[in-house]
């Protein structure tokens, strides 16, 4: 008797443990709570089932009636579970919840009266219950609930996708296997042979019905080797301690094993919860990472479409702008006859605007080339001093019209030979000097060159608008123009971005220094020497 009781106790504890652990995976889920109720009702039913075979305190008929009493909530909770799974919220209507609960409570009350089992009679060594007047009603209710549960499982299995079908299949197989074993052993064999020994295995027969939903709950959520291994080890440790507790033969051993079981139980709960939490956080991080990767791919796709659009639009604008510039230039030169001063002024404005727009289009084309990896560079050894000096002389006239002094200074130690694409580097230096002129109202602009170690430094300094630390951090982004952009509203906001990318392709760098707003600024280009 003691061995059979320990067996029943360990199996019952296994069922309860599985229920608790599974519920921990998501305590807020209604489905998980229903599963916990299934586990608890199954444990109570298992213990009562044992005492129906070895009655204590009460007569045998009382324990048999209690078996039916605790069997009802198990069947009902399982039906609700199949109806609600896998939703975390309650899907069962209030009307259905009330009706099923009402008839369940009614059957539970009837199960404790002679209306279901009015007594027992001996069949061999077994005590077989005598059916009461309401046993057909009770049987109809039980069969109906079991049939509805199977119907729900089959229906959801058929409609589920390939991945979720495994979950429904595991529940369906576990449910059918458990109840087939119970019906065969606890009803047919007892009535035919009178052998009640198989009743002891009834809790074991319930394991498939318990494991099926447990597997389904955690399968697509946090079924992780680390979590499962932790739960299994805790279960083994607690089971061994429980067996030691009920096999203790002295009060001191009982006390020690009781304390050990309580300590291991608390530690096991906290350990399991911490592992599950860690796995959940990792899965959430993986999910966020996956979503970010998808969003990033989408952004890349949109950016590619944007780049392609800009390239197409720029190419389409190029031809009409060339025509506008050509014809306005011819008008200004008198190719189509003389024009008066007022007409010439208007035509000149059109010409200047077309030139500005042409530069914007060129910037857009260069940006699209860079982003598509289509920017071509022809590197050759070049004396950058010659290019820079020419630019200073060309722009000195523009600077003087604003009352600014543009000067070029250099040290005379050695030539300024660099391996560059001369035309593109000219474009970069031109852009920096042009910006200095545009954003300086009074004072001077100095272009200086010197050697810094194995690098050539080209610095463009002005006494103009200056740059704030906030603007400096984002100055080389696309379409960023800074606080002083109101002084030159015609800029595209792409010049500095293009300069940065071109210098980057030359394995160089650009540094910016400014004391603050209204205190001027210095842009310095660093390039490796080629000698």
159 HSE (CA, 13 A, CB side): 6
Residue of 4, 68, 84 lying closest to 36 (CA atoms): 84
Residue of 471, 465, 384 lying closest to 430 (CA atoms): 384
Question: Under DSSP, is residue 520 helix (H, G, I), strand (E, B) or coil?
Answer: coil
Within a 10 A sphere around the Cβ of 195, how many other Cβ atoms? Answer: 14
CA distance 284 to 26: 14
Q: Please identify which residue in the block is written with the tokens 């595209």.
A: 492
Neighbouring-strand partners of residue 126? 123
CA distance 156 to 160: 6
The H or E element containing residue 417 is: strand 417-420
Task: Give the residue extent of every domain in the chain.
Answer: 2-221, 295-371, 380-528
Within a 10 A sphere around the Cβ of 137, how many other Cβ atoms? Answer: 16
> How high is the pLDDT of residue 222?
40
Which fold, 2-221? Rhopdopsin 7-helix transmembrane proteins (1.20.1070)
Buried-state track 260-287, b at ≥16 Cβ within 10 A, e below 16: bbeebbeebeeebeebbeebbeeeeeee
Transcribe 145-156 into DSSP letters.
Answer: HHHHHHHHHHHH
Backbone angles phi, psi at 122, to 5 degrees: -85, 135
**Helical H segments across 372-421, by residue range:** 384-401
450, 410 contact by CB (below 8 A)? yes
Domain 295-371 in the same topology as domain 2-221: no
> How high is the pLDDT of residue 387?
87
Going by C-beta distance under 8 Å and a sequence separation of 6 or more, which residues neighbour residue 500?
A: 476, 510
Lookup: tokens for 6: 């320990």
CA distance 120 to 65: 11
Which fold, 380-528? Heat Shock Protein 90 (3.30.565)
CA distance 90 to 88: 7
Q: Tens of pLDDT along the chain (531 residues)?
A: 456 666 666 666 666 766 676 666 666 778 778 878 888 888 788 778 777 777 777 777 888 888 888 888 888 888 888 888 777 788 888 888 899 889 999 999 998 888 888 877 665 655 677 788 988 898 888 888 888 888 888 888 888 777 677 777 777 887 787 777 777 666 655 555 555 566 666 666 677 776 666 666 665 444 444 555 555 556 555 666 666 665 666 777 667 667 766 776 677 667 666 766 776 677 677 778 888 888 888 877 777 766 666 666 655 666 677 777 777 878 777 777 777 878 878 877 877 777 667 666 676 666 666 666 667 788 888 888 888 888 888 888 888 888 888 899 887 767 888 898 888 888 888 888 888 888 888 888 999 998 888 888 999 999 888 888 777 777 777 666 555 554 554 555 677 888 888 888 888 998 888 888 888 888 999 998 876
> How high is the pLDDT of residue 526?
92
* Local structure of residue 199 (DSSP, 8 states): G
381, 490 contact by CB (below 8 A)? no
219, 171 contact by CB (below 8 A)? no
What's the length of the chain?
Answer: 531
CATH top-level class of 295-371: mainly alpha
> How high is the pLDDT of residue 106?
92
Going by C-beta distance under 8 Å and a sequence separation of 6 or more, which residues neighbour residue 179?
A: 146, 209
* Local structure of residue 372 (DSSP, 8 states): T
Q: Please identify which residue in the block is written with the tokens 């033969």.
A: 249
> How high is the pLDDT of residue 74?
84
> How high is the pLDDT of residue 102?
92
CA distance 416 to 356: 32
291, 268 contact by CB (below 8 A)? no
């Amino acid at each position: 008797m003691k061995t059979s009781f320990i067996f029943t106790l360990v199996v019952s504890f296994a069922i309860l443990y599985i229920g608790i652990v599974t519920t921990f995976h998501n305590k807020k889920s209604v489905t998980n709570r229903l599963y916990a109720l299934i586990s608890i009702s199954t444990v109570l039913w298992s213990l009562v089932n044992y005492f129906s075979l070895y009655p204590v305190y009460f007569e045998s008929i009382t324990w048999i009636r209690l078996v039916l009493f605790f069997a009802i909530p198990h069947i009902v909770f399982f039906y609700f579970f199949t109806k609600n799974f896998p939703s975390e919220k309650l899907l069962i209507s209030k009307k259905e919840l009330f009706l099923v609960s009402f008839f369940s409570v009614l059957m539970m009350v009837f199960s404790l009266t002679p209306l279901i089992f009015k007594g027992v009679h001996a069949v061999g060594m077994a005590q077989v219950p005598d059916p009461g007047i309401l046993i057909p009603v009770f049987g109809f209710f039980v069969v109906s609930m079991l049939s509805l549960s199977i119907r729900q499982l089959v229906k959801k299995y058929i409609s589920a996708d390939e991945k979720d079908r495994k979950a429904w299949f595991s529940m369906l197989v576990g449910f059918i296997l458990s109840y087939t074993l119970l019906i065969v052993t606890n009803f047919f064999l007892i009535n035919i042979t009178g052998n009640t020994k198989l009743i002891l295995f009834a809790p074991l027969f319930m394991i498939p019905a318990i494991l099926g939903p447990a597997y389904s709950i955690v399968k697509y959520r946090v079924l992780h080797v680390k979590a499962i291994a932790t739960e299994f080890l805790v279960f083994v440790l607690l089971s061994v301690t429980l067996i030691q507790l009920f096999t203790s033969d002295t009060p001191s051993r009982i006390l020690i094993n009781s304390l050990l079981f309580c300590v291991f139980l608390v530690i096991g709960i906290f350990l399991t919860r911490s592992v599950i939490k860690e796995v959940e956080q990792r899965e959430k991080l993986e999910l966020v990472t996956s979503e970010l990767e998808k969003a990033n791919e989408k952004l890349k796709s949109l950016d590619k479409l944007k780049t392609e659009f800009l390239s197409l639009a720029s190419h389409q604008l190029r031809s009409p702008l060339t025509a506008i510039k050509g014809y306005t230039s011819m008008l200004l030169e008198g190719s189509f006859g003389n024009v008066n001063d007022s007409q010439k002024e208007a035509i000149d404005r059109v010409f200047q605007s077309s030139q500005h727009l042409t530069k914007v289009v060129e910037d857009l084309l260069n940006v699209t080339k860079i982003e598509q990896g289509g920017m071509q560079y022809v590197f050759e050894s070049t004396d950058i001093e010659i290019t820079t000096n020419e630019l200073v002389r060309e722009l000195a006239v523009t600077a003087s019209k604003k009352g600014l002094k543009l000067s070029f200074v250099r040290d005379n130690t050695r030539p300024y030979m660099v391996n560059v694409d001369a035309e593109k580097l000219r474009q970069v230096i031109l852009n920096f000097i042009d910006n200095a002129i545009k954003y300086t109202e009074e004072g001077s602009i100095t272009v200086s060159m010197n050697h810094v170690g194995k690098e050539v430094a080209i610095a463009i300094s002005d006494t103009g608008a200056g740059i704030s630390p906030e603007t400096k951090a984002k100055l080389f982004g696309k379409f960023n123009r800074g606080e002083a952009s109101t002084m030159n509203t015609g800029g595209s906001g792409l010049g500095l971005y293009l300069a940065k990318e071109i210098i980057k392709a030359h394995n160089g760098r650009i540094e910016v220094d400014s004391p603050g707003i209204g205190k001027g600024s210095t842009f310095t280009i660093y390039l490796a020497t080629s000698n």
